[in-house]
Chain A
Amino acid sequence: MKSTLKDILILGVGIVIAFVGAATIDPGMLFLLCEVLVLFFMAQMWNLLAGYGGQVSMGHQAFVGMGAYVLFVLANNTSISPWIILALVPFIIGLLALPLGAAVFRLKHAYFSIGMWVIAEFIQTLVIKTEVLGGSSGIVLRPGGNPLKGDPERAVFFIAVVACFALMIGLRRLLNAPIGLALLSVRDNEAAAESAGINVRKLHLQIFSLSAAGCAGAGALYYMTVLYLSPMDGFQINWVVAMMFICVVGGMGTLTGPFVGTLIFVGLRETMTAFDISGGRYWIVMGVIAVATLLFAPRGLWPFHQSLFAKGK
């Protein structure tokens, strides 16, 4: 059990970093770092489904928004601590994703992608029209009717760092376990994997639910620092665009790719903002980078960089 000991050590290091960071970094920087960690987490969950499962979802913003809404609505209307609800969110949305996945996986490949997109738009419109959920004007997080006490970004940062460390360890173990090998075999040759006795439908449902749960948890965590949630924000398509760009540019189907992708995605945005270029022009540049990566290094920049290195030897 040498690897287990190593994992525990890594997680321990993560907890120390999280604690020191949460205690010392100033609030503005913490806020940015929280966003970076949340984006990385979401991109990694999207990557699990798209890069490893071969199922490209264009509707994952639905889970981000749903996770945040579950947190806000439960916290505002019950006396349960929002931090406990936060821990429950992934389980609630993960369970909800099972019947949804069973329906939408009837659509294959590209149809699945856009089918998810339609579902996300549908849920967004539904929330806009539901007065109990605040309608189009949204809701403010007021646990039990009172404003949230303390600096939530310190706790959120701590949770986000630990969650990202745990996610990387968990994903590495998952991919080395039988389910991970089954996943890769299905991605590479579905018919062959099925004839080898893998239940493709069940496998896809499992990672779909996992991916939904992860995005919901990350979404709830993010809106914990924002304290305000509206359907136009929580269900915006930019969430899935960010996940996709990060994975495509960094490298889909690798664990390091989304890390590289997140650095480029946020690094570029912050650099451009520093030069007073933001909004539409940022998305244009990011779009050009994504398209260029897909055309010239379709596996992403991290695997491309690795292949360059391998040739140099």
Chain B
Amino acid sequence: MTSIAVFETLFQGLTLGGLYGLIGAGLALNFGVLRVVNLAHGEMITIGAYLGVGYLALVPELNLGFVLVGAMLGCAVIGALLQTVVVERAMATRDPMVAMLVTFGIAIIIRNLLVETLGADLRGLNVNGLGSASLQFGDFSVGVLPLLTLLIALTAFAGLAWLIAKTAFGRAVRATSDNPEIAALMGISSKWIHIQVSALACALAALAGVLLAMRSSLSPFSGVERLLIAFEVVVLGGLGSIRGALLAGIALGLAQVTAARFDSNAGMLYVHLTFLVGLTLRAVRGKLI
């Protein structure tokens, strides 16, 4: 490989990894506070992307900012509703497996609703021809979309870290995650925190979902693959570590992009392999979740 190819691969891996980190951060946040692994997270990512498709169908000239914010808001509302109406009730059974199976049921319902209403075919998402625009730096040409994606992902990460570490909301979230009973004694409504956290996780999912769909493609079945990546990010990055999620996301993104150079139809094989190797190494070192 030439140095340009190496640079391009690294850059692609970095942008993809940033998005993987984001979907992982959403899942980790949800699990950290609710103690429920949300198996519908992948479907939230897909819904976010379809919302983007929908907005663009209504207003073809809509710019990326509005598409992203619109998708995030839409998904946040859906996430908050699902949390209030379904997941919170399932959590009342005090069996985390029941709640997880409920989210799995929701995922199947959403996936098949998408198939029935929008069709099962693959489609792309193109916002104002951003996918093909590029900037020239001497010999390097850098796509505008990957550059924007990386900037947006890093901004979202910084924003999330700030929100959790510095604000009153973040303090309440951390308190509920550490000790829900004491947090409740201090006047924090755990139900309200659950709803807010679900909305935030879904908004992050939608943000990554739109950008992922712009990068590759979209179908009602994309959710499964993306849920598994989010999960791998959480396990490798460590729970409750926002920086860990970013690093794990980048590792998996790099693995996927590098493998694709040598083996173009590898799909997620090497991403899963990276995860399984990482898991085994940790098992050997005796450090496990």
Which residues of A are interface residues toward B (Cβ below 8 A)? Answer: 54, 56, 58, 103, 106-111, 113-115, 117-119, 121-122, 125-126, 128-129, 237, 241, 244, 248, 279-281, 283-284, 286-288, 290-291, 294-295, 298
Assuming the A-B contacts A56-B101, A107-B289, A111-B289, are A129 and B116 also in contact, with contact meaning beta carbons closer than 8 angstroms in the complex? no
Q: B105, A287: Cβ atoms under 8 Å?
A: yes
When distances are taken between beta carbons in the complex, the residues of chain B under 8 Å from A291 are: 86, 102, 105-106, 109
Q: B228, A117: Cβ atoms under 8 Å?
A: yes
Assuming the A-B contacts A284-B116, A287-B105, A288-B109, are A298 and B96 also in contact, with contact meaning beta carbons closer than 8 angstroms in the complex? no
Q: A280, B268: Cβ atoms under 8 Å?
A: no
SS of B interface (majority): helix
When distances are taken between beta carbons in the complex, the residues of chain A under 8 Å from B104 are: 58, 244
A159 to B106, CA, bound (A): 36
Within 8 A of A (CB), among B238-289: 265-269, 272-273, 275-276, 279-280, 283, 288-289
A279 to B288, CA, bound (A): 41
A288 to B105, CA, bound (A): 7
Q: List 7 A-B contacts (CB under 8 A).
A: A107-B289, A110-B37, A121-B268, A129-B266, A284-B116, A288-B105, A290-B105
* 5 nearest A-B residue pairs (beta carbon): A287-B109, A291-B105, A280-B112, A110-B37, A122-B272
Q: Interface range on chain B: under 10, 10 to 19, 20 to 34, or 35 or more?
A: 35 or more
Q: Mark B224-238, 1 if CB is under 8 A from A, else 0.
A: 110010011001000
When distances are taken between beta carbons in the complex, the residues of chain A under 8 Å from B182 are: none
When distances are taken between beta carbons in the complex, the residues of chain A under 8 Å from B98 are: 294, 298
Within 8 A of A (CB), among B197-227: 224-225
B100 beta carbon closer than 8 Å to chain A: yes
Minimum CB distance partner of A241 in chain B: B108
B85 to chain A, nearest CB (A): 10
When distances are taken between beta carbons in the complex, the residues of chain A under 8 Å from B93 are: 294, 298
SS of A interface (majority): helix
Within 8 A of A (CB), among B164-208: none
B135 beta carbon closer than 8 Å to chain A: no
B148 beta carbon closer than 8 Å to chain A: no
Q: B108, A287: Cβ atoms under 8 Å?
A: yes
Which residues of B are interface residues toward A (Cβ below 8 A)? Answer: 31, 36-37, 39, 86, 89-90, 93, 95-98, 100-102, 104-106, 108-109, 111-113, 115-116, 224-225, 228, 231-232, 235, 265-269, 272-273, 275-276, 279-280, 283, 288-289
When distances are taken between beta carbons in the complex, the residues of chain B under 8 Å from A113 are: 37, 100
Assuming the A-B contacts A111-B289, A298-B98, are A103 and B112 also in contact, with contact meaning beta carbons closer than 8 angstroms in the complex? no
A126 to B101, CA, bound (A): 27
Q: B280, A295: Cβ atoms under 8 Å?
A: no
Partner of A295 from B36, B90, B279 at Cβ < 8 Å? B90
A176 to B171, CA, bound (A): 50
Assuming the A-B contacts A294-B101, A295-B102, are A114 and B276 also in contact, with contact meaning beta carbons closer than 8 angstroms in the complex? no
Partner of A125 from B109, B112, B272 at Cβ < 8 Å? B272
A269 to chain B, nearest CB (A): 13
A58 to B279, CA, bound (A): 18
A286 to B279, CA, bound (A): 34
Minimum CB distance partner of B283 in chain A: A106
When distances are taken between beta carbons in the complex, the residues of chain B under 8 Å from A108 are: 289
Q: B280, A103: Cβ atoms under 8 Å?
A: yes
Q: A114, B268: Cβ atoms under 8 Å?
A: no
Q: A244, B101: Cβ atoms under 8 Å?
A: yes
A280 to B86, CA, bound (A): 21
18 further A-B pairs in the complex, CB-CB below 8 A; given A110-B96, A125-B268: A106-B288, A107-B288, A110-B37, A118-B272, A122-B273, A125-B266, A279-B115, A280-B115, A280-B116, A283-B111, A283-B112, A284-B109, A286-B108, A290-B105, A291-B102, A291-B106, A294-B102, A295-B89
When distances are taken between beta carbons in the complex, the residues of chain A under 8 Å from B276 are: 118-119, 122
**Quick one: which of B105, B228, B231 has the most chain A CB within 10 A?**
B105
A283 to B231, CA, bound (A): 24
Partner of B113 from A129, A284, A286, A298 at Cβ < 8 Å? A284
When distances are taken between beta carbons in the complex, the residues of chain B under 8 Å from A298 are: 93, 95, 98
Partner of B112 from A114, A117, A126, A281 at Cβ < 8 Å? A281
Partner of A110 from B100, B265, B288 at Cβ < 8 Å? B100
When distances are taken between beta carbons in the complex, the residues of chain B under 8 Å from A128 are: 267
Q: A111, B116: Cβ atoms under 8 Å?
A: no
When distances are taken between beta carbons in the complex, the residues of chain B under 8 Å from A110 are: 31, 36-37, 96-97, 100
A3 to B111, CA, bound (A): 48
Minimum CB distance partner of A293 in chain B: B105
When distances are taken between beta carbons in the complex, the residues of chain A under 8 Å from B288 are: 106-107
Q: B269, A129: Cβ atoms under 8 Å?
A: yes
Minimum CB distance partner of B120 in chain A: A280
When distances are taken between beta carbons in the complex, the residues of chain B under 8 Å from A288 are: 105, 109
